[in-house]
Amino acid sequence: MRKTLLVANWKMNGSLDLLSQMHEALLAKSYSGVGIAICPPFIFLPQTQNLFKDSQIAYGAQDVSDQDNGAYTGQISAKMLSQLACDYVIIGHSERRQYCGETDKIIAAKCQRALDAGLVPILCVGENATQKQNGETEAIVLSQVRSVVDSLTTEQLEKLVIAYEPIWAIGTGLAANPLDANKVHELIRKASLQTTRILYGGSANAENIREFLMQPNIDGALIGGAALKPEVFVQMINISEALCTKVY
Ligand code: PEP
């Protein structure tokens, strides 16, 4: 059974005020069919824990160190995140691959650290516009997935969440065609498990979420811009709740 999951990636946005507003908006209702997680910047995680600890809303970080501890100024370890009872950590987002030089090897190490600390990694993969134009989507995505999946045990793999985020769709308002995205998800599923939750990310919003979630291999969404607006995020959750958990 793959329970639908909606994850808010705030990136370097938001504030304590927005966190309170999100808390108010999300806790105004109860949830049954959909898992929800908020990933604000690190600095807001203690307050996120205070606000959401006894709720149905999960939370997590947007990155984690590939090291266990030591002289790594500015980095945050998986064990530290688990001390704040984080559930998830986003790993390998294209912005980190692009701006922070994260390689597949580093990303695989981060996933391992996260799993060792009891966190669920949300591994982001996806091709850029040029790679898409060159017909390389399949090869790029599969090599990104395999570089992590191949080093995991089946037990670890059962916990992994994967987000397919075509880079050209992130923050551009140009979401992928849901049918095309579903085909990529199908490939990812073949390289992972039937039970792996595979999220779509890239300009998902209240207008298009239904069509994405209606695809058989799309199990949820990683949401950037639209998840910074509590009323839009709640709308997306409501739409998702109206569709059913996929059972396989
Ligand atoms: C993201 O950055 O993970 C993302 C999907 O952003 P947006 O929804 O704004 O495209």
Active site residue 93: yes
- Residue 130 confidence (pLDDT) above 50: yes
Residue 47 contacts residue 16 (beta carbons within 8 Å): yes
What distances in angstroms separate CA 5 from CA 77, 122, 161, 163, 239, one per listed residue? Answer: 24, 11, 10, 11, 12
Total-model pTM? 0.97
- Residue 246 confidence (pLDDT) above 70: no
Strand spans (E) along the chain: 4-9, 34-39, 57-61, 88-91, 120-125, 161-164, 197-201, 220-223
- Residue 31 confidence (pLDDT) above 90: no
- Residue 248 confidence (pLDDT) above 50: no
| pLDDT tens per residue, range 131-156 | 999 999 999 999 999 999 999 999 99
Q: For atom 1 of ligand 1, which residue has the closest CA? A: 224
194 Cα–ligand 1 center, Å: 25
Q: Quick one: fold of 4-243?
A: TIM Barrel (3.20.20)
- Residue 25 confidence (pLDDT) above 60: yes
Q: What is the dihedral of CA 57, 53, 27, 165, to 10 degrees?
A: -30
Locus of tokens 């980095």: 75
**Which of 164, 148, 74, 139 is closest to 105 using CA atoms?**
148
Quick check: helix, strand or coil at residue 83? helix
| pLDDT tens per residue, range 41-88 | 999 999 999 999 999 999 999 999 999 999 999 999 999 999 999 999
140 Cα–ligand 1 center, Å: 19
Share of the chain above pLDDT 70, in %: 98
Reported as type and span, the H/E element at residue 203 is none
Q: How far apart are CA 133 and CA 124, in angstroms?
A: 20
Looking at residue 29, what is its pLDDT? 83
Question: Taking each helix axis from N to C terminus, what angle separates 137-149 and 104-116, rounded to the nearest 10 degrees?
Answer: 40
Average per-residue pLDDT for the chain: 96
- Under the banding of pLDDT at 50, 70 and 90, the label for residue 1 is confident
Residue 10 contacts residue 205 (beta carbons within 8 Å): no
- The pLDDT of 94-103, averaged and rounded, is 98
Instruction: Name the residue of 11, 128, 172 to mutate for ligand 1: max ligand atoms within 8 A of Cβ.
Output: 11
Ranking 10-24, 25-39, 52-66 by mean pLDDT, the lowest is: 25-39
- Under the banding of pLDDT at 50, 70 and 90, the label for residue 123 is very high
Ligand 1 surroundings by CB, under 6 angstroms: 9, 165, 170-171, 201-204, 222-226
Query: Residue 207: how many CB atoms within 10 A of its CB?
Result: 13
CA end-to-end distance (rounded Å), the chain: 6
Q: Provide φ and ψ at 19, rounded to 5°.
A: -60, -40
Q: Which of 93, 102, 185, 241 is catalytic?
A: 93
Length of the chain: 248
Looking at residue 50, what is its pLDDT? 98
Using DSSP bridges, classify how beta strands 34-39 and 88-91 pair: parallel, antiparallel or unpaired: unpaired
Looking at residue 78, what is its pLDDT? 98
| pLDDT tens per residue, range 201-235 | 999 999 999 999 999 999 999 999 999 999 999 99
